[in-house]
Amino acid sequence: MALALALALALAMAMALAMAMAMAMAMAIRRIKMPELKTPRINRSCLSGRIGNDVTLKYTPSGTAVLNITIASDRSYKKDGGDWETITSWIDCVAWAKQAETIAANACKGTSVYLEGRLETRTWEKDGKKGKAVEIIIDHFQSLERKASPQPAQDLPLAPQGGSDDVPF
For position 39, what pLDDT does the model report?
77
In a domain, 158, yes or no: no
**Which of the residues in the chain have pLDDT under 50?**
148-169
For position 38, what pLDDT does the model report?
72
In a domain, 1, yes or no: no
Residues 6+ apart with CB under 8 A from 144: 48, 111, 112, 113, 114
Residues 6+ apart with CB under 8 A from 77: 84, 85, 87
For position 146, what pLDDT does the model report?
79
Q: Which domain holds residue 109?
A: 45-143
pTM summary value: 0.62
For position 156, what pLDDT does the model report?
38
In a domain, 65, yes or no: yes
| CATH classification of the domain holding 118 | 2.40.50.140
Q: Tell me, what amino acid is at 54?
A: D
Residues 94/100/102/104 CA torsion (nearest 10 deg): 80
